[in-house]
Structure 1
């Protein structure tokens, strides 16, 4: 593990930044105080909302923490005309979004709400959030959905911020290193929530590399530290990714069920509910591939959702909010990784301690030639 990364965490455990109100300051503080690295999620928030959460978190812990930022999405050539890209892949178009909106009209009527405006913005307040993070530096910043410029990464480094960028392939990891990031978050296809692919095209659906294979490939591709993410729920799995070449593990679903998590109670319950037995990647809620528990909304609309993020995310936002208010888990985006049934309803700090103990036991068993948890 690099010394810079070692300074941020006592245990090689990173709490994944889960947008949508899950990664609240209380969760990040509990993880940090237990020796992991807590993270706030700036995605879907205003810059001021992000700043207020940072301020609140600093009042809860003196330890290091991170903030995750969504990269702005490019204006696709031909958007609105239904054209294709250089590789012949279908690009999002206003017409495709309109067709999907028509399909969702019945959902809006059922929940007695209106569909959202798909043209509410593409950049998620990126530039303003960067300005806040440069004026009020935090220990770590990670990026999802693309690679920041070398200038952005260097500006953060100058103010003392450790930078991480998500990658889902060896080529993406190479781009992260070449841009000058301090570490790469290697996200396997098992991961819950949005896949951090740098360029989203329709052909991304349903494919991806498993975490252990991906960590091994990336370790042979780049020289910067690796944080492994995707389906990790036990200390033995952390030991496995460390053995494969990672410096730390990032866990999201494992922390989703904790009392400090801001996830909706129905979301927490669904992780181990026998009604929700499997996960799939879907575009149904956001237009980008994201792994969640299979429910009615995903089954009915997933096959027809276009590759149009963040337009579809804006479009479905009122539906998801109304479903949650109505207590209808079948209409919510229940993001979860493939290991969701192993979720434990432990306080976040205690979960870090249990994971660290499991990791130590697994490492000891491996050194003796046995098997750990």
Structure 2
């Protein structure tokens, strides 16, 4: 695959960032810069997703859509109750109620598939697992390229067998959620170029590389290992068009924040973020359970963001977070593309 296939002139594209950071403005800015952005459907009701899709489509720029594929991790009811009791002090401090019983959903999957059947987009990507076979066929019928996030050679082979067109190879240094199919198994710490090379040797599909990219040298290394394009997310968290919460933006440049950790304390799935009080207190106690833990901690996280308190907040960040700047997205993407 080459950049022109996605309508992009730059070798660096803007990764999807669900939950607020990835805005229509960011996707549009990436497209206008000669790059490529995404509408992040995750955590949105289908109607809100459709509205964002319409906004970006109206701008006339190349873009894609990212969906959370249904791959729930059922939480143990007793473990959920124990964790909720542990978090009660946090909820009380912010004056917010927590769900008494686990909330299990599929992120409005079927309704979002219906939206995409009605609106053609160039690329649809999936994370958290392979989508149902029938839905792969439905989405393929729209004419979109289909891309799958993978974190290992085994997942890459499964994606190829499922008929995917493109692999998004995500290394362990990525910020936010790992796209692993098996969240109960720790994701090996493998450098992005090594993972790209291993996947490229095993599977004959185009590769988009992601995870831990902060510099132009990181981009060059991933491309040299066999990637066709490199996707960056953390590098854009402080971009002017990003919807990143103010305390999150500040934490990315706080000299006291010197470490990222992989935790399931916030959502019940492994995700990388800046170490804070919440990760220190609750990472070991948090059970597996997605999306139940996401819904459990969400009231606390929303209240913390509104209060400007970074300590109970999910400060998603990849290992290259120190390179995130508050420039326009076009400047960031162009800088990272230098020398590629």
TM-score, shorter chain, exceeding 0.5: yes
Structure 2 equivalent of residue 15 of structure 1? 14
The Cα of 1:74 is off from its aligned counterpart by 4.0
Structure 1 equivalent of residue 246 of structure 2? 265
Structure 2 equivalent of residue 72 of structure 1? 70
Secondary structure class of the residue paired with 1:329: coil
The Cα of 1:268 is off from its aligned counterpart by 1.2
Which digits, 9 at most, give the CA deviation of each residue in 1:13-58, with x for residues without a partner?
A: 2211111111110000000111111111111101111000011112
Task: Choose 1 or 2 for highest CA Rg.
Answer: 1
**How does 1:173-184 map onto structure 2 within 5 Å?**
173-184=156-167
Mapped pair 1:106 → 2:89? yes
Structure 2 equivalent of residue 39 of structure 1? 38
The Cα of 1:143 is off from its aligned counterpart by 0.5
Secondary structure class of the residue paired with 1:268: helix
Cα distance in 2 for partners of 1:21, 1:148 equals 23
Structure 1 pair 118–310 and aligned structure 2 pair: CA distance change class (3 A): farther
The Cα of 1:296 is off from its aligned counterpart by 0.4
Structure 2 equivalent of residue 28 of structure 1? 27
Which residue, 107, 115, 129 being the options, matches 2:98? 115
Secondary structure class of the residue paired with 1:359: coil
The Cα of 1:283 is off from its aligned counterpart by 0.6
**How does 1:1-373 map onto structure 2 within 5 Å?**
1-2=1-2, 6-59=5-58, 61-74=59-72, 76=74, 92-116=75-99, 119-201=102-184, 203-204=185-186, 207-356=188-337, 358-360=338-340
Cα distance in 2 for partners of 1:250, 1:312 equals 28
Cα distance in 2 for partners of 1:55, 1:354 equals 29
Structure 2 equivalent of residue 370 of structure 1? none
Cα distance in 1 for partners of 2:325, 2:191 equals 23
Where does structure 1 lack aligned partners over 5 or more consecutive residues? 77-91, 361-373
The Cα of 1:168 is off from its aligned counterpart by 0.5
The Cα of 1:8 is off from its aligned counterpart by 3.0
Structure 2 equivalent of residue 89 of structure 1? none
Contact 1:168–1:209, Cα closer than 8 Å, also in 2 = no
The Cα of 1:158 is off from its aligned counterpart by 2.3
Secondary structure class of the residue paired with 1:281: strand
The Cα of 1:316 is off from its aligned counterpart by 0.2
TM-score by length of 1: 0.88
The Cα of 1:176 is off from its aligned counterpart by 0.7
Where does structure 2 lack aligned partners over 5 or more consecutive residues? none
Which digits, 9 at most, give the CA deviation of each residue in 1:218-266, with x for residues without a partner?
A: 0111001010000112222111111101111010001111010000111
> After the TM superposition, which of the residue ranges 186-195 and 11-20 deviates more from structure 2?
11-20
Secondary structure class of the residue paired with 1:330: coil
Runs of 4+ in structure 1 deviating by more than 4 angstroms, as ranges, are: none
Cα distance in 1 for partners of 2:336, 2:89 equals 44
Which of structures 1 and 2 has the larger relative contact order (alpha carbons within 8 angstroms, sep 6+)? 2
Cα RMSD for the two superposed structures: 1.6
Which digits, 9 at most, give the CA deviation of each residue in 1:257-290, with x for residues without a partner?
A: 1010000111112112112111000011000000
Cα distance in 2 for partners of 1:121, 1:127 equals 15
The Cα of 1:156 is off from its aligned counterpart by 2.2
The Cα of 1:200 is off from its aligned counterpart by 2.0
The Cα of 1:118 is off from its aligned counterpart by 5.2
Q: How many residues align?
A: 340
The Cα of 1:117 is off from its aligned counterpart by 5.4
